């Protein structure tokens, strides 16, 4: 996949949409200092290039009852982490699954309503074929949680 070329105008439009994905082209244009036609053309090009993959709401997980955030390292045997990642990705509460370098093969970020849900997840993980061990860290305070780079 090639890197998309974006300029300052594109960045301003993306930042406006990251702030509020419900903005109309006209509203995004006003916030970015461009015409509505320019905003529409640029945003459509960003969508077509795959820079903007979709639009979503930002949720407050704690207000939804997800009190626990866990970061779990997974050690897999026989290089099976990529295949296991597909199964892990479908588990309720799992936000991110990464195949990583270092002592562990995978890193999972997940949210749970209580210790029982976390315990069930950990037991399920350990029951998967090729999972040798896990190491789970509980997040005490979220200092920043945002995957948007701009």
φ, ψ of residue 24 to 5 degrees: the values are: -75, 170
CATH code of the domain made up of 62-138: 3.30.70.920
Which one of 1.10.10.10, 1.20.1740.10, 3.40.50.300, 3.30.465.10 gives the CATH number of domain 8-48? Answer: 1.10.10.10
pLDDT value for 46: 96
1 pLDDT exceeds 70? no
Directed axis angle between helix 25-32 and helix 8-19, to 10°? 120
What is the domain partition of the chain in residue ranges? 8-48, 62-138
Q: What is the pLDDT of residues 25-78, one digit of tens each?
A: 999 999 999 999 999 999 999 999 999 999 998 899 999 999 999 999 999 988
For the entire predicted model, the pTM comes to: 0.85
**Average pLDDT value for residue range 3-26:** 94
89 pLDDT exceeds 70? yes
Tokens of 79: 């290089």
| Pairwise CA distance, residues 137 & 117, whole Å | 15
């Amino acid at each position: 996949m090639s890197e998309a070329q974006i300029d300052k105008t594109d960045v301003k439009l993306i930042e406006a949409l990251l702030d509020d994905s419900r903005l109309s082209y006209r509203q995004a244009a006003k916030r970015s200092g461009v015409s509505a036609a320019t905003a529409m053309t640029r945003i459509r090009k960003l969508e077509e290039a795959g820079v903007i993959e979709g639009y979503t709401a930002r949720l407050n997980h704690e207000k939804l009852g997800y009190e626990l955030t866990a970061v779990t390292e997974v050690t897999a045997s026989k290089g099976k982490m990529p295949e296991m990642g597909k199964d892990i990705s479908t588990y309720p509460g799992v936000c991110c699954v990464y195949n990583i370098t270092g002592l562990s093969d995978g890193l999972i970020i997940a949210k749970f309503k209580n210790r029982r849900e976390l315990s069930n997840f950990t037991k399920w993980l350990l029951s998967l074929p090729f999972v040798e061990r896990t190491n789970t860290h509980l997040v005490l305070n979220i200092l920043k949680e945002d995957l948007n780079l701009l």
